[in-house]
A and B are shown apart, each in its own frame.
Chain A
Amino acid sequence: MKKFILLIIFSFFIFCSQSLLAVECPSEGGVFPETTLAVPQKADEKDYLGIKGEGSFKLSDINARVLILEVFSMYCPYCQKEAPIVNELYQIIDNRQDIKDKIKIIGIGAGNTPFEVEVFRKQYNIPFPLFSDESFSIHKAVGDVRTPYFFVFKIKPDGSNKIIYSKGGTIQDPNQFLDLIIKKSGL
């Protein structure tokens, strides 16, 4: 009997620990997990995100209808190649008055220290806010995706969100990518 109980406890723990470990990457139609980030130091980045004060903020606090979130790493050669393409996407959005305030971009540096994120930002003159995920906690919460990985989701007025794009690798042509996002989000 004791053995039997132990076996059940044992299986329960195995089940729990496995489900904790194997987080699946949220796909299109799904929900991006609630994520808390440190409020940026730079005033222009705070303005861009529409975040006030200090401390931390939630992704749903960002002043945007659609958020493009790139999971990158300073150490990832593909992300290095992708950086100018994402910068171009930012410029295209920034030049369009009709969507500029509705679509925002951020980057999450998987396993990168703030120093390493800064090296990446400086190297490629990245105009949008980048955040350090030194402990890989966000990276883990989205299923250990390969980098770069792009999530695009709509932020609803009640703070909930819905993923409209979830894909690894290059976004290819930034103009076509933007068209796709606008179409899928119904902006």
Chain B
Amino acid sequence: MLFKCKFNFITILWVLILLFSTTNSYSLSEQYKGKIYNPGVLNPLDSVIKLKVGDKAPDFTLPSVSGEKISLRQYSSKKNVVISFVPAAWTPVCSDQWPGYNIAKNFFDKHDTILIGITVDNIPTLYAWTSEMGNLWFPVLSDFWPHGAVAEKYGVLRSDGVSERALFVIDKKGIIRYIDVHDINQRPKLEVLVKELEKFTN
């Protein structure tokens, strides 16, 4: 009987924790008209980081939604680079993050930085999804095939095949200056990234 009681209390606690932890911490835009799939609350992190600040950023070449192929090395000694990995198209937090960066272009310009968005989705999906965001000023790349290979290289591929919500800030020499592998359920604050960009010019 004692065991049963304990078990029940644990069950209650567990259910309560589950209930309270499933509150939303995002807002959805009307833009997507209810087309956003809600995956629920996910394990905040699900990969093992392979890179650290000071490492050389691994090069890659990926197709972009606009048709051209983009390599990291093409920005070498020309631009600082921010890579924004987001988990998946048509999901709540991701559908917000890039439209936000879309009106923050002046911060990137000011610090001579280009932004690259990457997901593991294929081009048609990314095309449909990013079309809803309006005209993005930065390239969006598809890490679809070989599946998640670039995310894997950067140590941000999760066990279910999507990437983490991660930011890598890379200087003109190709050296990683900042890494934020964020809680997948939450959007990184813009000012934190802007502070990192300011380090390039200050």
A residues with a Cβ closer than 8 A to B are 2-3, 6, 9-10, 13-14, 17-18, 21, 71, 73-81, 110-111, 113, 115-116, 119-120, 123, 136, 139-140, 144-149, 168-170
Q: List the one stretch of B20-28, B51-59, B65-73, B116-124 in contact with chain A.
A: B20-28
Identify whether the interface residues of B are mostly helix, strand, loop, or mixed. Answer: helix
CB-nearest residue of chain A to B1: A2
Contact A14 B189 (CB under 8 A): no
Q: When A and B form their complex, which 9 residue pairs have the shortest distance between CB atoms, in order from nearest?
A: A75-B100, A76-B29, A75-B96, A78-B31, A115-B191, A110-B27, A77-B99, A78-B30, A77-B31
Q: Does B104 contact A (CB under 8 A)?
A: yes
**Which residue of B is nearest A170, CB measured?**
B30
A77 to B101, CA, bound (A): 11
Contacting chain A: which of B11-19, B41-49, B156-164, B169-177? B11-19
User: Quick check: B27 and A136 within 8 Å, CB to CB?
Assistant: yes
Inter-chain contact A120/B15, CB cutoff 8 Å:
no
Give every chain B residue within 8 A of A119 (Cβ-Cβ): 103-104, 190
Complex Cα gap A13–B23 (Å): 16
B residues sitting closer than 8 Å to A (CB atoms) are 1, 4-5, 8-9, 11-12, 15-16, 19-20, 22-31, 34, 96-97, 99-100, 102-104, 132-134, 187, 189-191, 194
Identify A120's interface contact among B12, B103, B133, CB under 8 A.
Answer: B103
Are B99 and A21 in contact, CB atoms less than 8 angstroms apart? Answer: no
Given contact pairs A13-B15, A110-B27, A139-B27, a sample of 14 additional A-B residue pairs in the complex whose CB atoms are under 8 Å apart: A14-B19, A17-B20, A73-B29, A75-B100, A76-B31, A76-B99, A78-B31, A80-B134, A113-B189, A119-B103, A119-B190, A144-B27, A146-B29, A149-B30
